[in-house]
Structure 1
Amino acid sequence: MTQPQPKSSPLTELCSALPSLPMRLREVGRFVAANDYDATTRSMRELAAVAGADPASFTRLAQALGYSGWDELRAALTEARRPVQPSPFSGRTKGRRHGPNADVTLVADKLEAEAAGLARISASSVATAAKALHAAQRIWIAGFRSCRGVAELLNYQLRLFRPEAVQLVGGSGPEDLDLGAFRAGDAVIVIGFAPYSTASVLSARAAHRSGAALIAIADTIAAPMAEGADHLLLFEAAASPGFFPSLTGAIAVAQSLAAVTFALGGAGAKRRLKETEARLAAMSQYVAEKG
């Protein structure tokens, strides 16, 4: 029995169709093929302005490829960029060692891998990104699903000395309401690793469209939420053994960002930190130590 052939990607369809397209549509098609990320994140009018084309030409291009319009082609391009990972966690359990000391060996191997991963984090990249945080009018932090804890930790530490300027995306309601509030002059931190949450990718794209400085804390340069980032801070997630990827590096990056941003804040940051500490003490937030 003949096996069905997998459907080709929309980009492959586009490139194959280019020679047969009219000259103007061919130019628009080449622009889309060379800027497929922008094609999935920017409006048709924005794309047309950059390409120097009529917005309607994008609709005609989509129809020439067999789509009902630009929105359908754009949706196909977006879907084609989505990674396919049916079993991202259970697939990591293959090849696990067995025996009387297997558990101890797993812990030792994991600790060794975590230490090696931390050593490969770029200190200079983190320091440069912290300068962008220091200069930002507002700081937004986006972390979802397993990355939510990292986002909340960074949010807490930054708010100790910049309480008025830091906000967790989706912290007070649906995250899509916050995405529309991103502005140029803001900094947006997005945290993620494979398999990437849809919300993290949407947050990164919203930051890119708004003109805010995008800081991606990611496991690879190919991460979809890292595309177009002004600062990419890499951590190792998959190198550590165990059924679940490691967040140790992401936590280390987050805490380093907070530490350097505080240092850059100088006397003002120290004053606000002391004010926060005094308020927490007055509210008896910590257990008093017995003398």
Structure 2
Amino acid sequence: MAQAEPKPSPNRSPLGELCSALPSLPMRLQEVGRFVAANDYDATTRSMRELAAVAGADPAAFTRLAKAIGYSGWDELRAALTEARRPTQASPFSARTKGRRAGPNADVTLINEKLEAEAAGLGRISSTAIADAARVLHSADRIWIAGFRSCRSVAELLNYQLRLFRPDAVQLVGGAGPDDLDHGAFRAGDAVVVIGFAPYSTASVLSARAAHHARATLIAIADTISAPMAEGADHLLLYEAATSPGFFPSLTGAIAIAQSLAAVTFTLGGAAAKRKLEQTEDRLAEMSQYFAEKG
């Protein structure tokens, strides 16, 4: 009679299950398991083939690893890792304060840890994915940008920068009226950029679904591939929100992606974009929008 595979415990984290099982695994699976444990964010955001290439392993080893610790396959283990990283709906921010060290230098330590985590997260953003998405923005008939609650600041930044050289083609979803009226204006040929992180705003999910319904191109700037506002996205631009310490998830990566999108889209626009930018600058100067010291 075949021995039943172990079942993951509902009371333990998937990383805990993995680390506990490592000593009993074959050597090659131990190596893959240690890689996953040390790179759990990448494990939730990158494909199995990409992980295997970085780890120097056979993609099938990730499936064998998942089955060895009681999961049906890599997809189920990755889903469990993703869920473990997601804050609870009831306390998405205050839950992040648990376990923080106290002491005379705790404030400086927190700042150093946060800066290090932000820098590491920026280094894992895919420049190729951003360049591909920027080409979509360059060729789109219209660009809609959806960001709500804390992500509104990122959406407004991207909207502002793009409007400097494409003033007639860029609009903030909900910027001039109810969100649903803008949803009804989405069309094929448009690009819709939706920005979010856990816990995800209902408005961002509805914006993404409206983009699908209109057959517009959806670009999701999200913290994980399982984000509901990123489901079925044509372009997924991932950033790290949860790994940075502090009571609130980090928007540093989302801001960097937004600014990179604007920079590359402007470059793709060539001479026409430059002329539009110069016209905008002239208008701003005429209106004295920037303070100048009088000599």
Q: What TM-score do the two structures reach when normalised by structure 1?
A: 0.71
Q: Cα deviation per residue 1:208-230 (whole Å; 9 max; x = unaligned)?
A: 11110000000000000000100
Per-residue deviation, 1:85: 1.6
Q: Does 1:276 align with 2:274?
A: no
Q: Matches of 1:289 and 1:113 in 2, distance apart?
A: 39
- Which residue in the other structure is 1:45 paired with? none
Per-residue deviation, 1:84: 5.9
- Which residue in the other structure is 2:91 paired with? 87
Among residues 284, 288, 292, which one is paired with 1:288 in the alignment?
A: 292
Q: Matches of 1:276 and 1:131 in 2, distance apart?
A: 23
Matches within 5 A, 1:117-132: 117-132=121-136
Question: Between Structure 1 and Structure 2, how many residues are aligned?
Answer: 209
> CA RMSD for the aligned pairs?
1.0
Q: Does 1:219 align with 2:223?
A: yes
- Which residue in the other structure is 1:170 paired with? 174
Q: Matches of 1:250 and 1:125 in 2, distance apart?
A: 13
**3-state SS in 2 of match to 1:188:** strand
- Unmatched segments (≥5 aa) in structure 1: 1-82
Q: Matches of 2:219 and 2:88 in 1, distance apart?
A: 25
Q: Matches of 1:280 and 1:228 in 2, distance apart?
A: 40
**3-state SS in 1 of match to 2:194:** strand
Per-residue deviation, 1:289: 3.7
- Which residue in the other structure is 1:105 paired with? 109
Q: Which runs of 4+ in 1 moved over 6 A?
A: none
Per-residue deviation, 1:288: 1.3
Q: Cα deviation per residue 1:33-85 (whole Å; 9 max; x = unaligned)?
A: xxxxxxxxxxxxxxxxxxxxxxxxxxxxxxxxxxxxxxxxxxxxxxxxxx962
**3-state SS in 1 of match to 2:232:** coil
Among residues 242, 262, 265, which one is paired with 2:246 in the alignment?
A: 242
Among residues 116, 137, 152, which one is paired with 2:156 in the alignment?
A: 152
- Which residue in the other structure is 2:140 paired with? 136
Q: Matches of 1:287 and 1:251 in 2, distance apart?
A: 26
- Unmatched segments (≥5 aa) in structure 2: 1-86
Sequence identity percentage: 81
- Which residue in the other structure is 1:265 paired with? 269
Q: Matches of 2:88 and 2:206 in 1, distance apart?
A: 17
- Which residue in the other structure is 2:190 paired with? 186
Q: What TM-score do the two structures reach when normalised by structure 2?
A: 0.70
Q: Matches of 2:88 and 2:98 in 1, distance apart?
A: 19
- Which residue in the other structure is 2:7 paired with? none
